[in-house]
Amino acid sequence: MRIGVLALQGAFIEHIKMLKSLGVTAVEVRLPRDLDGLDGLIIPGGESTTIGKLAVMYNLMEPLRQFAAQKAMWGTCAGMIFMAKEIGNGSAGRDQPLLGIMDIEVERNAFGRQVDSFEIGLAVTVFQNGDGGLFPAVFIRAPRLVAAKGEARVIAALADGTAVAAQQGKWLATSFHPELTDDPRFHQYFLSLVGN
């Protein structure tokens, strides 16, 4: 299995390390041709505005959309924003290019400045019961899911109901950063979607 990690900006090295620890070939993606032969792609956290602008500059927007039409894709944090069709506060546009593939609406920096970083144990509906308990979810200036529409389903929410992870077929989006923990379950779950 060969998995790419979009390496324009942000926390791509941590995803690569996690994938390698799971015995997967992990490839940094910067150019359209880097997508050739990959089975899935992760879009890391970072700054979604910067990732979007660089993706336009490197002519990656259409190749990424075509890739997603066939293959598994997972966006963490800024990557989730980049995959979304809608941003709640309307900042999408020329200044914030979006891939716009998942039927989700997100709100950037949804947890305010006081709590711009926190960790919380999260129940993830698609994990089997009893296989390791709550997932340690790390949030850093994180977005939240305002809505999951169409085929998109919420797969994790905070105790107050705030949705923080969604799945739509082979696509995943998480507000938080599984690559910054030692817990491989989200990466393993993504790999199970790649293999389907």
Q: Could you give the residue numbers annotated as active site?
A: 77, 177, 179
Cα–Cα distance measured from residue 161 to residue 84, given in angstroms and rounded to the nearest whole number:
20
Q: Is 47 in the site for ligand GLN (CB under 6 A)?
A: yes
CB of 158 to ligand GLN, least distance (A): 17
Please name every residue paired with 74 in a beta bridge, in sequence order, or none if there are none.
42, 172
Q: Pick the piece of the chain touching ligand GLN (CB under 6 A) from 43-51, 58-66, 155-163, 188-196.
A: 43-51
Q: How far is the CB of 47 from ligand GLN (least distance, A)?
A: 5
Please pick, from the candidates 4, 40, 45, 75, the single residue that binds ligand GLN as defined by CB under 6 A: 45
Distance CA 96, CA 90 (A): 10
Which DSSP helix (H) or strand (E) runs through 145?
strand 144-148
CA distances from 153 to 43, 44, 80 (A): 19, 21, 14
Find the binder of ligand GLN among 4, 40, 46, 178 (CB under 6 A). 46
Q: Does the protein bind ligand GLN through residue 108 (CB under 6 A)?
A: yes
Q: CA-CA distance, 151 to 172, in Å (whole number)?
A: 12
H-helix or E-strand spanning residue 171: strand 171-174
Q: How far is the CB of 96 from ligand GLN (least distance, A)?
A: 9
Q: 124-183: which residues touch ligand GLN (CB under 6 A)?
A: 140-141
Contact in structure between 176 and 12 (CB atoms under 8 Å): no
Nearer to ligand GLN, 43 or 68 (CB): 43
- The binding site for ligand GLN (CB under 6 A) comprises 45-48, 77-78, 81, 108-109, 140-141
